[in-house]
């Protein structure tokens, strides 16, 4: 709850948290004390599915030894209409802490192709 003086503006931040894809339309109704008119703000948009393609299907790091860093370059295509953030990790069943992948968290802008250098260290 807040108060605005005449001519004053206030920025409002709206965050959307959803697991549902597709169109959305929401209505925010303002309650103005002493007024018969309650302004309405409509939010409308589309939640799309991430669409990324990694050009490389296989990366051969060669011989990797303890404490020795090996690297490779991958090309990631973000075909989505929005920026994406994603994580990289190596699926390991026996020893989940055996490898370290850097960077493990990547940001990629909408509708671009980006090259990332991925380092793997056996720890």
Q: Read off the pLDDT band of 66 (50, 70, 90).
A: confident
Across-strand partners of 40?
29
Q: Read off the pLDDT band of 42 (50, 70, 90).
A: very high
Cβ atoms of residues 40 and 32 within 8 Å:
no
pLDDT given for residue 96 in this prediction: 66
29 in any annotated domain = no
92 in any annotated domain = yes
31 in any annotated domain = no
Q: 42: which 2 tokens?
A: 């409509």
Q: Read off the pLDDT band of 1 (50, 70, 90).
A: low
112 in any annotated domain = yes
Give CA separation, 112 vs 72, 92, 117, in Å: 20, 30, 16
Across-strand partners of 44?
25
74 in any annotated domain = yes
pTM of the predicted model over 0.75: no
C-alpha–C-alpha distance, residues 64 and 121, integer Å:
7
Return the percentage of the chain with pLDDT > 70, whole number: 97
- Tell me which residue range forms the domain holding 81: 52-122
10 in any annotated domain = no
pLDDT per residue as tens digits for the range 72-87: 888 889 998 888 888 8
Count of domains for the chain: 1
């Amino acid at each position: 709850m807040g108060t605005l003086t005449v001519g004053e503006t206030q920025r409002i931040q709206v965050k959307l948290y959803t697991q549902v894809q597709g169109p959305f339309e929401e209505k925010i109704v303002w309650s103005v004390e002493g007024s018969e008119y309650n302004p309405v703000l409509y939010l409308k948009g589309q939640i799309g599915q991430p669409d990324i393609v990694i050009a490389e299907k296989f990366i051969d790091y060669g011989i990797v030894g303890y404490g020795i860093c090996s690297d490779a370059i991958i090309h990631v295509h973000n075909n989505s209409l929005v920026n994406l953030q994603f994580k990289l990790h190596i699926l390991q069943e026996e020893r989940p802490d055996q490898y370290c992948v850097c960077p493990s968290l990547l940001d990629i802008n909408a509708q671009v192709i980006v090259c990332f250098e991925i380092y793997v260290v056996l720890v």
